[in-house]
């Protein structure tokens, strides 16, 4: 795995016009619950992730820390806000966990991962760039690599111009089914109280590349 980052892509700000750095400095981070997502913890207890795992839009790193603490070989948390990564690095982090500054949508250096875990990254990206997100996930994974995580299907947000943006089950299938074999999509997952009924757990495998 290449640890370099592209400052030009970082400045493109994947988050659709939101100044994430300013949000962190202001303490305006309602997505940060101070702990890993309960559905992730349930999955890790039942079936830990192994190998190398990438967490895009990692924020303060709670999910990345949990994945590392449950036995993954190497975990990389990626974010475009330096303040988020400073917060993440201030915690006591397990061995094999690192945090990198880069824009997940345009980065080319983060390759060779066995799994990508999603939580609050896709919902922050404007819907017009969702195919860039899917392409980035596929680019980071080898054939058969695992994409899993929590998708915000019904956020409490009346605006269609600012995140979080909803991504329904039909949207998930339409976006990912070309490059991924969908193994599981389900509601009714353990979550934070204010998100009950608004999220879905997904797991899918990258399809093998075939020669034309």
Write a three-state SS string for 60-83.
CCHHHHHHHHCCCCEEEEEECCHH
- Supply the pLDDT for residue 155: 79
Q: Are 150 and 201 in contact (CB under 8 A)?
A: yes
Give the pLDDT of residue 210.
56
Mean pLDDT of 6-19: 52
Mean pLDDT of 13-25: 80
What is the mean predicted confidence (pLDDT) over 140-166? Answer: 88
How far is the CA of 84 from the CAs of 46, 58, 74, in angstroms?
Answer: 29, 8, 20
Q: Please answer whether residues 75 and 53 qualify as being in contact, where contact means their C-beta atoms are separated by less than 8 angstroms.
A: yes
Distance CA 45, CA 69 (A): 11
Tell me what pLDDT residue 14 has: 53
Supply the pLDDT for residue 72.
97
Output the pLDDT for position 157.
Answer: 72
- 80-133 pLDDT, tens per residue? 999 999 999 999 999 999 999 999 999 888 999 999 999 999 999 999 999 999
> Mean per-residue pLDDT for 160-171?
88
For the entire predicted model, the pTM comes to 0.90
Angle at 191 between CA 94 and CA 171, to 5 degrees: 105
**Does residue 9 carry a pLDDT above 50?**
no
pLDDT band at 7 (very low <50, low <70, confident <90, very high): very low
Higher pLDDT, 14 or 41: 41
The reported pLDDT for the residue numbered 120 is 94
33-206: CATH architecture: 3-Layer(aba) Sandwich (3.40)
Quote the pLDDT of residue 32: 96
Q: How confident is the model at residue 58 (pLDDT cuts 50, 70, 90)?
A: very high
- When the pLDDT of each residue in the chain is averaged and rounded to a whole number, the result is 90
Q: Where are the domains of the chain?
A: 33-206
Looking at per-residue confidence, does 161 or 19 come out higher? 19
């Amino acid at each position: 795995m290449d640890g370099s980052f592209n400052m030009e892509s970082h400045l493109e700000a994947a988050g659709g016009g939101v100044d994430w750095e300013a949000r962190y400095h202001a303490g305006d981070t309602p997505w940060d619950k101070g702990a890993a997502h309960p559905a992730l913890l349930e999955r890790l207890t039942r079936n830990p992730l192994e190998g190398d795992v990438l967490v895009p839009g990692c924020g303060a790193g709670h999910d990345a820390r949990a994945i590392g603490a449950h036995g993954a070989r190497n975990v990389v948390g990626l974010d475009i806000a330096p303040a988020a990564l400073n917060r993440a690095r201030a915690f006591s982090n397990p061995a094999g966990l690192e945090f990198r500054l880069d824009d997940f949508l345009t980065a080319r250096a983060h390759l060779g991962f066995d799994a990508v875990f999603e939580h609050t990254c896709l919902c922050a990206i404007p819907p017009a760039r969702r195919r860039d997100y899917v392409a980035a996930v596929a680019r980071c994974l080898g054939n058969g690599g695992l994409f899993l995580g929590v998708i915000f299907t019904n956020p409490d947000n009346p605006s269609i111009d600012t995140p979080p943006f909803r991504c329904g089950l039909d949207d998930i299938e339409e976006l990912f089914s070309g490059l991924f074999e969908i193994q599981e999509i389900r509601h009714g997952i353990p979550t934070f109280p204010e998100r009950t009924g608004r999220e879905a757990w997904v797991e899918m495998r990258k399809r093998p590349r075939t020669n034309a």
